[in-house]
Structure formats: C-alpha cells, structure tokens
C-alpha cells in the first residue's frame, strides 16, 4: 500500500457572528478538504497509513455512524487499498453504512459485547488470522500516531494567516471526542499558543487521561457535551440553524455544533477579551448529519 503523499489543504476563513463581542474568529475548514474524505479523520489516518506501507489492507472499528470508518473507507476506495470495518452493535442500514459498502469496505458486526472487548489483549488475534497482512488501526485513528498527523494543521493555519490580515493568533478552539486531534495540535504548538478542547463526551470517557498520556501542558478541556455524547437538544439545533443562516457555516450536532456553542457561552461569560484572535477547527463529520434527517 501507499505511499500516500496526498496532503489536502484546509481553507482558513474569517467568521462573522453577532455574539463575538470583539473577539476575532477564523475557522479552519477540515470539512472542505475533499468531497468524500472529510474532517480531522484524514489527518489522524496519515501516520497509521504510513505504518501500513507493507500491509495488504487496513482493518479498523467504529460505530454505525462512524466518521472515522467513513473516511477510511473513502480513502481505501480513492487510493485502491482494501478496508475492513468492525462495527459496534447489530446489522443496520443507514446512510453511513450505505457509503461504507459502496466504498468497498468489508463489514463485520460485533454486537455490543463483542465491541466492548476491543481493548482485550487477544481481540485482534482472530481478525489477523481472517485478514492476514492487514494493519489494525485503533478506534477513531487515535494514539500518538494519530495525533502527530494533526500537527500539519498548525502549519496550514500559519501559512494562511496573511489572508486574514493577522500576523498571529491567540488560541485554538476545537471539539474533542478522544482528544487525539487536540493532542496533535498541542504537540505541534509546543506551548506557543494554548489549545481549548470542547468535550463532546462526558468525563467518564477518559479524554483527560488520553490527552495527558500524549501531552503534558498547553491545553484546557471544557465540558461541551450537553448531558452526554450524541445528546441533542432544541437550543443546540437552533444554534446550528442560526449559525448556518448567519454565515453559511454548516455544523453537525455531535461535535462541531456543540464546540461552537460552548465557545459562544465562554465569550458571553467574558473568558476572552475583545481583540482576542481565535482559530476554530471545523473537524468535519457532516456525513453523520444524514442520520438526523433521514
């Protein structure tokens, strides 16, 4: 497989919203890197794919709406390598699953108990036998390998600052699910600018531990989960609709919508003085929106 030298470009765009109170905001549009391979997922995959150069294919796992499996399957189709997806739960149809199949990914449903065993020492054994030579990628493309691939986001922002008329910025703001993307940005910043992670999942998901295993300082995690992962409420959906109408930015309710709404609340609470320049990372995930509308 590979090598993969496709390094997509994420546009950096100014955002005008009536709640910014003098804070200047720009969005790094990972949702716009490619029509099919969207979001932080490609960047998290790059290191894993580099490690898989002698592999016959890639095997990974996720839920039935997984943005990670979606990006992996799309990359497999684009670059011509076989992919296998191990899925949480029981067979179901939805737009994400439809795409995974259309991209040629082999799917196996593990049930809920089977999926819970994914961290067990012998979990991969039968799959290695079933798919010899396939390289396993952890859930969500995580770990240090995934994080390091996100470091290029810092370079991409720095290279585009002049388009905003900025010579620098003060901090980053992004959604955190496992904290891998955040850790990659923190590593690449090496303390130069703080990184705020808006948690899309509650405390008991262990994001703080994940992140502290990868980086020691230079970030802050804030709860943005609104009562639980994938919990959606009318004010959140209103906010997403209003934002799209106000500035054309599409958001989804699980990660990017919650993250931007949490930023609004923090600005209203006075966390950032007027003139602060923030980079919001749009981590993609819009493919998952179809689960809410269809």
Ligand X SMILES: Cc1ncc(COP(=O)(O)O)c(C=O)c1O
Which residues form the catalytic set?
66
Closest-CB residue for ligand X? 285
Q: Does 180 participate in binding ligand X (rule CB under 6 A)?
A: yes
Q: Does 136 participate in binding ligand X (rule CB under 6 A)?
A: no
Q: Which stretch binds ligand X (CB under 6 A): 8-16, 79-87, 173-181, 268-276?
A: 173-181
* Three-class DSSP category at 87: strand
Identify the CA nearest to 283 among candidates 171, 169, 181, 158: 181
Q: Which two tokens stand for residue 251?
A: 């958001």
Enumerate residues 231-260 that contact ligand X by CB under 6 A.
255
**Reduced 3-state DSSP string for 231-248:** CCCHHHHHHHHHHHHHHC
Burial degree of 209 (CB within 10 A; 0-12, 13-18, 19+): exposed
**Closer CB to ligand X, residue 83 or residue 256?**
256
Identify the CA nearest to 105 among candidates 78, 73, 137, 134: 73
Q: Which two tokens stand for residue 187?
A: 């590593």
Provide, rounded to whole angstroms, the least separation between the CB of residue 257 and ligand X. 10
Q: Does 145 participate in binding ligand X (rule CB under 6 A)?
A: no
Provide, rounded to whole angstroms, the least separation between the CB of residue 2 and ligand X. 22
**Closer CB to ligand X, residue 156 or residue 181?**
181
Q: Which stretch binds ligand X (CB under 6 A): 84-92, 110-118, 123-131, 277-285?
A: 277-285
Options 176, 224, 260, 261; binder of ligand X; rule CB under 6 A: 176
Q: Which stretch binds ligand X (CB under 6 A): 2-10, 131-139, 272-280, 281-289?
A: 281-289
**Closer CB to ligand X, residue 58 or residue 150?**
150
Q: Does 283 participate in binding ligand X (rule CB under 6 A)?
A: yes
Enumerate residues 15-44 that contact ligand X by CB under 6 A.
39-40
The site for ligand X, by CB under 6 A, has a size of 16
**Reduced 3-state DSSP string for 188-233:** HHCCCCCEEEEECCCHHHCHHHHHHHHCCCCEEEEECCCCCCCCCC
Q: Which stretch binds ligand X (CB under 6 A): 4-12, 50-58, 186-194, 279-287?
A: 279-287
Sign of the alpha-carbon dihedral angle for 187, 281, 48, 33: negative
Beta strands 57-62 and 277-282 are unpaired
Residues 6+ apart with CB under 8 A from 85: 59, 60, 61, 62, 66, 69, 72, 73, 100, 105, 106, 107, 108
Site residues (vs ligand X, CB under 6 A): 39-40, 67, 140, 175-182, 255, 283-285
């Amino acid at each position: 497989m590979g090598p993969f030298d496709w390094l997509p470009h994420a546009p950096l765009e100014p955002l005008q919203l009536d709640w910014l109170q003098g804070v200047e905001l720009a969005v790094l549009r990972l949702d716009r890197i490619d029509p099919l391979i969207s979001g932080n997922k490609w960047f998290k995959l790059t290191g894993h794919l580099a490690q898989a150069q002698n592999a016959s294919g890639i095997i990974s796992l996720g839920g039935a709406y997984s943005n990670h499996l979606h990006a992996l399957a799309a990359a497999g189709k684009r670059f011509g390598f076989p992919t296998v997806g191990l899925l949480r739960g029981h067979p179901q149809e939805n737009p994400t699953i439809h795409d995974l199949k259309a991209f040629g990914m082999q799917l196996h449903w593990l049930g809920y108990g089977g999926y819970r065993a994914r961290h067990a020492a012998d979990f991969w054994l039968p799959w290695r036998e079933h798919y010899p030579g396939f390289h396993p990628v952890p859930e969500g493309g995580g770990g240090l390998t995934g994080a390091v691939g996100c470091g290029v986001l810092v370079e991409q922002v720095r290279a585009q600052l002049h388009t905003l008329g900025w010579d620098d910025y003060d901090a980053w703001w992004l959604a955190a699910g496992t904290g891998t993307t955040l850790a990659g940005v923190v590593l690449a910043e090496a303390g130069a600018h703080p990184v705020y992670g808006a948690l899309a999942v509650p405390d008991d998901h262990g994001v703080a531990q994940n992140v502290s295993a990868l980086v020691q300082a230079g970030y802050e995690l804030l709860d943005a989960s609104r009562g639980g992962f994938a919990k959606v409420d009318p004010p959140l959906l209103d906010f997403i609709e209003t934002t799209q109408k106000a500035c054309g930015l599409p958001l989804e309710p699980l990660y990017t919508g919650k993250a931007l709404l949490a930023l609004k609340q923090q600005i209203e609470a006075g966390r950032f003085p007027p003139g602060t320049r923030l980079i919001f990372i749009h981590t993609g995930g819009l493919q998952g929106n179809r689960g809410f509308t269809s």
